[in-house]
Amino acid sequence: MHTVLVTGCAGFIGSHLCERLLADGFRVLGLDNFDPFYPRALKEQNLSAVRKHPQFNFQELDLRSGVRALDAAWPHETPDLVVHLAAKAGVGPSVHEPLAYLDNNVLGTGHLLEWMRQRPVSRLLFASSSSVYGNTRRLPFQETEPLQLACISPYATTKLAGEELTFTYHHLYRLNVLNARFFTVYGPRQRPDLAIHKFVRLLQAGQTIPVFGDGTTARDYTYVADIIDGIVRGVKYLLVNEQVYETVNLGNNKPVPLLQLIEAVAEAVGVPARLRFEPMQAGDVDITFADISKAQRLLGYAPRTPLSEGLQAFVKWLKVSEQTPALK
């Protein structure tokens, strides 16, 4: 039985990943610091399905605490592989708190990599982001795109810095790495600050939806189950290959303009949308569009969830979660 350490395990993607890994027969070590970016109760609920699983071991820990804290958390456990999802998230908030993002996402990643070097743990799947492409004009985004001077938000910069760090540890210490660039993940447990979650709540409350820009900005919305399948395929790829350093896009390969997304969300909720146009937000890019051919070739990655189906699943989950007193 292989053991996988999942950092950020209580988050949106992390909690889904832990459930899938346990279902697939892995032992899972989970780490999270319950960052107050959104309520702890939501993250505790995310973990409710795995907390009592016999092959799940959770430690509350902030990666900024350093190598010794990681050693103390699991003094007798050495995972076969790490999936590093932990990060301070959000493009917009990073514009207002750049130092907090550098501290969490760069320093925290550095501590994790150094712990892996010393333990040693030789395999890493690093969660990067489509934001590293910035306003790259060549579409769809390819992993070979040169990204010097591409990042236009502190969050994007920290994710590209994370990729640079993983390469350094690959080059110097033979760390096997798969950098996975996620493209606008949505679905049940999505963070409350993200667009789809906000839109559904506004529609349910009969309020107007803010449209930043003219509504033509587009995102490559990717359902969480498809992302999780890509991550698990990446885990299995790393476990059977050596001397690996690869970067792949995990997206849906189908950008959706903002106005079209709002229309689809409104249809899923069953309420017509009323719009309020606002200026573009600092740090936002015009479009994200994943070329997923490399992920298809290396991992057999193939997203399958249509937007309408994914939105219906999210709305259904939100209705149930709103009936949970602790989560209201």
- d(C-alpha 267, C-alpha 262), whole Å: 9
Please give the structure tokens belonging to residue 46.
């995310």
For residue 266, what are its two tokens? 């409104």
Rg of the Cα trace of the chain?
A: 19
- For the chain, strand residue ranges (E) read 3-7, 27-32, 56-60, 81-84, 123-129, 176-182, 185-186, 209-212, 218-219, 222-223, 245-250, 256-257, 275-278
292 vs 303: CA distance, rounded Å: 9
301 a catalytic residue: no
| Residue 227 in tokens | 């992302």
| Catalytic hit among 133, 155, 186, 221 | 155
Q: Name the β-bridge partners of 29.
A: 5, 57
Neighbours of 290 (CB within 10 A): 29
Cβ proximity of 136 and 150 under 8 Å: yes
Cβ-Cβ contacts under 8 Å for 63 (sequence gap 6 or more): 7, 31, 33, 70, 86, 104, 107, 108, 109, 111, 112
Catalogue the active-site residues: 155
